Amino acid sequence: MSTPRTVLLVEGESDRVALHALAHRRGEDLAAAGVEVVAMGGITNLRSHALRDGPRGRGLALAGLYDVPEEHHVRRGLLAAGVLVTGDVGSADIELAEVGFHACDRDLEDELLRAVGPDGAQAVIEAAGEATSLRLLAQMPSQRGWTREEVLRRFLTSQSGRKARYARLLVEALDLDRAPRPLVAVLEDALRR
């Protein structure tokens, strides 16, 4: 891709994979639309990415996906980059969605698990050949008393590379009408900018 017109900032590789998979399912070509999805390697890196690519850097439009508990990092980074002005930080009257940044309630895995449901997530895990690993995890003493959703969430985050792998598989399995709202909203914002 040549220089993008919009940079869509996400915390990690699983977010990047999920957004590409959802765009593909919706028939959208992000590269052709001038949208580059950048996995920042952690939300605390938002400031440097926003400074480099935003209005005080390369002058590109920005959009982003973040987790609600990390909102303070997003606000500070966008303030430093000139996307927000001083009065906006911590202000209830400026929603980050207004500047193209959309929040997952807890995180990406939570959004995807809700979208496909526990039965759907288990079916995806079984189809991927990891039913035994899931069953063994659920039987561990430390997981006794956990809800099915908590076990599924732990499974998704318990092994390196698993979050990104299942981000794609869960997006591919979900009903598009149930696609997580923040993922849909950030894609639409990035494509409009």
| Predicted confidence band of residue 90 (pLDDT cuts 50, 70, 90) | low
Please give the model's pTM, rounded to 2 decimal places. Answer: 0.93
Percent of the chain residues topping a pLDDT of 70: 95
Residue 16 three-state SS: helix
Find the mean pLDDT for residues 185-190: 97
Cβ atoms of 101 and 63 closer than 8 Å: yes
Least confident among 1-15, 80-94, 114-128: 80-94
Residue 89 confidence (pLDDT) = 52
Q: Which residue has the higher pLDDT, 51 or 84?
A: 51
Joined tokens for residue 15: 């977010």
Joined tokens for residue 61: 């439009």
Residue 34 clears pLDDT 50, i.e. is over it: yes
Cβ atoms of 78 and 48 closer than 8 Å: no
| Predicted confidence band of residue 85 (pLDDT cuts 50, 70, 90) | confident
Residue 139 confidence (pLDDT) = 94
Q: Which residue has the higher pLDDT, 94 or 43?
A: 43
Find the mean pLDDT for residues 28-51: 97
Angle (deg, nearest 10), helices 108-127 and 148-157: 90
